[in-house]
Structure 1
Amino acid sequence: MASSRDRQRKLARAKLDRQMARRAAATRRRRRIQAGIGATLALVLIVLGSVWALGGFDPEPKQDTAQDQCAWTPQDASANSHLSDVGTPATTGLPTSGTRPMTITTNQGAPVTVELDLAAAPCAGASLAHLAGRSFYDNTKCHEITAEGALRCGDPSGTGLGGPTYTFFSENTPSAPASPAADAPVAYPKGTVAMISSPPGANGSQFLIFFKDHRATQPAYPIVGKVTGGLDVVEKIGALPTVDNGSGAKVKPQTDVVIQSLTVGEPGSAPAPAATTGAPAASPSAAS
């Protein structure tokens, strides 16, 4: 009997030992798995931290395209009879770097050639090209010689209220000087071409060509380019006598200054060669 009970105890003991061994092995496996998971998580955190430190989670920078930059704001022609509906510029594939030539042929002598700065004012460049492509400026008058020393053009109505049925925001407006105007640097050097709008910031078709340096305590005109040829013609126009424009201001040129044609060439192309007479000259095809 004793022998039988001993065997049962031994079998029970052996079974318990096997159970304990299995439990120990399972515990070791769990610890190994937990250790592996912990190490993996630590590695993942290290990698994520490195990516974050290097800016990997920063938003993707927007591409420098006119599609992202330009917003053409519709204007109601029924509220302003001086506006002309010529559509709006394209919103894709617009150049935002380099330059573009613009040629203004007037009845006052050789054409005036301008280099549009597409990097600093891509929306203004796109708008000018769009309007030129629709002959918006052809046979219109430059209706004002401003007190700042600039020729104001681009309003077919000649009232200062005209333009297309869209506006766009200002680009490349000079910063206000820290010193008084008398000592401030020139904000608009002679030959500067800038947009002008009313109210400021709602640009359309009107632009200024400065025939003398202008200092400004609060610059309001966004610069779109510079004259590359025919500045003497602009200076000659700037010296014309002025008469009342109907509002009591003697700013209208006494002699009509007519833009016979205004064209904008392809980006990167050269300006059209200046003609020697006031007749319209061959120039690059307008692009929109």
Structure 2
Amino acid sequence: MLLVVLGAVWFTGGFDGDDPADTTAQDVCTWTPQDAASNDKLKDVGTPPTTGIAQAGTRPMTVTTNQGAPITASLDLAGAPCAGTSLAFLAGKNFFDNTKCHEITAEGALRCGDPSGTGLGGPTYSFFNENVPSAPEPQPSASAAPAPAAPLYPKGTVAMAGTTPGANGSQFLIFLKDFTPAADAAPQYPIVGTVTAGQATLDAIAKIPTVDNGSGAKTKPKTDVVVQSLTVGGIDTGLEAPPSSAPSSAPAS
């Protein structure tokens, strides 16, 4: 009986001394193919990598428009590694350059990132939501008025906006004012970053009136907001480089 038990343990690898498999090369993001044949608004520039994706630190994103000083944002790679990777990949393909921000949404956000300018465009892949804020818990009634909750999407928030909720591509939002969904509406925009400079430009854009977008909704900026270029910089881990250990040169005697 003992031999049978030992044999079973050996067969299932109970005596293997190897270390656990390295999972650092495993896929982090899934890029779901989208059919350009059924949607001519999609633009095929390939797909981002699925491995070697940074899941910590930040990356700077700079959006230069025709409306003033460049807008810069910090992309959160810990909260939204796939969104940050996708934006960096598309920026490297000049996907956003010379495209219009086609909408100022009812929530008060500038919507950009669709080369077709229709709200239906994007790359030939999509990816799932990540870092969607949770709806606030309902507060019990009390005699004293509760303190107002912080907005789920504060002014300056950068979030992805899928052509359908949960199917993100290239379109993104920059919130021009604080926004929190109604109590009966779940948050749907995954947050990818925060504006760090260029708020004066966004304030100027917020004052642009909107007109009919062709479907009866007054969401199209009356004055075109054009993304002249969008770039994403390198990864910042927040760690300073170690000081050089090379000895300093002694002065000549």
Deviation of 1:235 after TM superposition, in Å, equals 1.8
Q: Using the alignment, how far apart are the partners of 2:22 and 2:222 within structure 1?
A: 49
Instruction: Decide whether the 8 Å contact of 2:28 with 2:51 is kept in 1.
Output: no
Instruction: Decide whether the 8 Å contact of 1:195 with 1:222 is kept in 2.
Output: yes
Tell me which amino acid in the other structure corresponds to 1:244: D
Q: Using the alignment, how far apart are the partners of 1:211 and 1:63 within structure 2?
A: 40
Q: Using the alignment, how far apart are the partners of 1:231 and 1:62 within structure 2?
A: 44
Matched, 1:190 2:158: no
User: Partner residue of 2:208?
Assistant: 240
Structure with larger Rg: 1
Show the 5 A alignment for 1:95-114.
95-114=54-73
| Aligned-partner SS, 2:88 | helix
Task: Flag structure 1 segments of 5+ consecutive residues without an equivalent.
Answer: 1-36, 42-50, 52-59, 271-288
Instruction: Decide whether the 8 Å contact of 1:178 with 1:184 is kept in 2.
Output: no
| Aligned-partner SS, 1:233 | helix
Matched, 1:227 2:186: no
Deviation of 1:185 after TM superposition, in Å, equals 3.6
Task: Flag structure 2 segments of 5+ consecutive residues without an equivalent.
Answer: 6-13, 15-19, 140-146, 239-253
Instruction: Decide whether the 8 Å contact of 2:55 with 2:81 is kept in 1.
Output: yes
**Which of 204, 215, 220 does residue 180 from structure 2 map onto?**
215
Report the identity percentage: 67
Report the CA distance shift for 1:80/1:187 in structure 2 as closer, same or farther (over 3 A).
Answer: same
User: Partner residue of 1:140?
Assistant: 99
Instruction: Decide whether the 8 Å contact of 2:69 with 2:201 is kept in 1.
Output: yes
Q: Which moved more, 1:236-245 or 1:261-270?
A: 261-270
Measured against aligned partners, the alpha-carbon deviations of 1:144-180 in whole angstroms (never above 9, x if no partner) come to 0011111000001111100000000010000122228
Q: Using the alignment, how far apart are the partners of 2:129 and 2:21 within structure 1?
A: 22
Show the 5 A alignment for 1:1-288.
63=23, 67-179=26-138, 184-216=149-181, 217=183, 218-268=186-236
For normalisation by structure 1, the TM-score amounts to 0.70
For normalisation by structure 2, the TM-score amounts to 0.79
| Aligned-partner SS, 2:27 | helix
Q: Using the alignment, how far apart are the partners of 2:22 and 2:87 within structure 1?
A: 24
| Aligned-partner SS, 1:237 | helix
Instruction: Decide whether the 8 Å contact of 1:195 with 1:208 is kept in 2.
Output: yes
Report the CA distance shift for 1:64/1:263 in structure 2 as closer, same or farther (over 3 A).
Answer: same
Q: Using the alignment, how far apart are the partners of 2:199 and 2:216 within structure 1?
A: 29
Q: Using the alignment, how far apart are the partners of 1:198 and 1:131 within structure 2?
A: 17
Instruction: Decide whether the 8 Å contact of 1:195 with 1:221 is kept in 2.
Output: yes
Instruction: Decide whether the 8 Å contact of 1:64 with 1:96 is kept in 2.
Output: no
Q: Using the alignment, how far apart are the partners of 1:256 and 1:61 within structure 2?
A: 53
Deviation of 1:92 after TM superposition, in Å, equals 2.2
Instruction: Decide whether the 8 Å contact of 1:177 with 1:185 is kept in 2.
Output: no
Structural RMSD (CA): 2.6
Tell me which amino acid in the other structure corresponds to 2:198: G
Tell me which amino acid in the other structure corresponds to 2:192: V
Q: Using the alignment, how far apart are the partners of 1:215 and 1:107 within structure 2?
A: 29
Structure with greater proportional helix content: 1
Q: Using the alignment, how far apart are the partners of 1:259 and 1:113 within structure 2?
A: 13
Instruction: Decide whether the 8 Å contact of 2:57 with 2:237 is kept in 1.
Output: no
